[in-house]
Amino acid sequence: MLAHAPQPLAGIELTYAREVFEAILAGMGWEDPFKAEYVCDDEGVRVKQVDTAQSLAWHPWCEVMIPGSPDPLVEPWLRFPFTARRLAALMTDGWGYFIQEKYGDWEDGPDEDEMLSIGLLGGKAKEVLRAAYEAYRGAVEMAPRLDRSLGDKARELTQQYNAAREGAMAREELSQHRHAGTEYVARLKRVNDTVSDLGQTMREARETADLAYARWRRDVVQHLLLPIEEVPTEAFASLMLRALPPSRRAEAAHQQQALQEFQDSEERKARWDLMSEQQKVERELRSWQLMQPQNITEAVLHDSKLKELALELAAIGDRLRSLEAPLRSAQEMNNIHDARPDYALLTTRDELCIAFGSFGLKRDWFDDLKSRQWLLDARKVLGHGQRGRRQEPLFCPFEVMIGLVEKSRKSKLNQDSGWRILENKFPAVYAAKSIGDHRDPTG
């Protein structure tokens, strides 16, 4: 379900002038050291010190390196006039993060109290900030979800590594020999050798987590910077939108939004709050990990802060998992035990094998659905024994078709053949899902 409205149809986005962005900067306050890094001219806004730190040397257009896209080396960080979505892209990371930090968290910002600093004349600045926060939340909903378990694993391994290294240093009495020259070097080498394998595992886990975050950030920013028809297929979470030809995605996204009312439950809000808190602590942890202590005192403070942040993240992760578990269970039960399933749009395993068997679908796949999550998700009626009779489990043919095309490595089904089979074998399903049929009707 799309939690927020998709980006507007082409040609109707509001644009804002240089003075509006300057009002946003002015609202950050005279004492804000990051505001001074922005330089505005009639073309757009740039930053003075691009390479002060690797985490800040990030440009929104770094995420859209396709032929014809703007060059981050010459393109303003925000070109004037600008849209709310482009402002949101700027605020996603790098120097733009400090604007978001001033005006409120992503989950419920902008903070109306913080925007009072913009002043009465800054009505348009407040307007575009509200729209930028909404656009960001919409982009997150459109993009595939970030696998945060990778970050959890990296942090867990980091804790194990730090504990193992501290233990090895204590056994070698390293602090007592820090002025012992050759003896200190020999003891330090033994410490490093002891934790070498664990250190390599920790670094690999960090790289994996960082790569997953970078891919997620790329998907989100592409939804903010590009028209929906130019967003790469892999940047969509929705299988329906992935299956559509690019020219029909905007129409389908708006139809989905019109048909599906977002239910802003307390559980969902609590989950978003925790995810946002998790992101803030992760950013702080990354900043501390980049620091290089210059002496023993700084090193002790550095290690203490890293431990504190790691414990805070672990606690947030535990709270998030405890909150998500019942939500996942409820969603799974809704999918399986639909109180009023539309049986006209469902079918049996045998019928699916008849329709898709020649393209790779195997009957024994249904005996172990947990090995194929897409097939498990396609099951809408569980099936059960009752008074000596057994009700067949029922599946959605459309989701099975999409799964075979998108998810199954052993499938030989392509989109054209999938839609043709759906149209011929399951006409009621095809009628309900035909908006996704990209085939040329004249051909």
Among the candidates 335, 363, 389, a domain finishes at: 335
Q: Are residues 69 and 125 in the same domain?
A: yes
Q: Which domain holds residue 369?
A: 343-436
Contacts of 347 (CB under 8 A, 6+ apart): 394, 395, 397, 426
213, part of any domain: yes
DSSP 283-299: HHHHHHHH----SHHHH
- E strands within 30-189? 38-40, 44-47, 78-79
395, part of any domain: yes
Strands 385-386 and 389-390: antiparallel
Q: Are residues 189 and 307 in the same domain?
A: yes
Q: What is the mean pLDDT of the chain?
A: 83
State yes or no: pLDDT of 9 exceeds 50. no
Q: Are residues 194 and 84 in the same domain?
A: no
Q: Are residues 178 and 297 in the same domain?
A: yes
State yes or no: pLDDT of 30 exceeds 70. yes
State yes or no: pLDDT of 410 exceeds 90. no
Give the confidence band of 265 by pLDDT, cuts at 50, 70, 90.
Answer: low
What predicted TM-score, i.e. pTM, was given to this entire model? 0.58
Q: Are residues 368 and 408 in the same domain?
A: yes
13, part of any domain: no
State yes or no: pLDDT of 302 exceeds 90. no
Give the confidence band of 267 by pLDDT, cuts at 50, 70, 90.
Answer: low
Looking at 45-59, 324-338, 342-356, which range is the least confident one?
324-338
Q: CA–CA separation, 413 vs 410, rounded Å?
A: 9
Tell me, what's the pLDDT at 334?
44
Q: Are residues 328 and 273 in the same domain?
A: yes
Q: Are residues 211 and 288 in the same domain?
A: yes
295 or 201, which is more confident?
201
Nearest CA among 417, 415, 426, 336 for reference residue 381: 336
Tell me, what's the pLDDT at 430?
85
Q: CA–CA separation, 402 vs 406, rounded Å?
A: 6
Q: Are residues 157 and 138 in the same domain?
A: no
Looking at 15-24, 213-222, 329-338, 350-359, which range is the least confident one?
329-338
| Beta pairing partners, 347 | 395
Tell me, what's the pLDDT at 314?
84
Domain count, the chain: 3
Give the confidence band of 421 by pLDDT, cuts at 50, 70, 90.
Answer: very high
Residue recorded with tokens 């997953």: 212
Among the candidates 317, 335, 353, a domain finishes at: 335
Q: CA–CA separation, 249 vs 252, rounded Å?
A: 5
54, part of any domain: yes
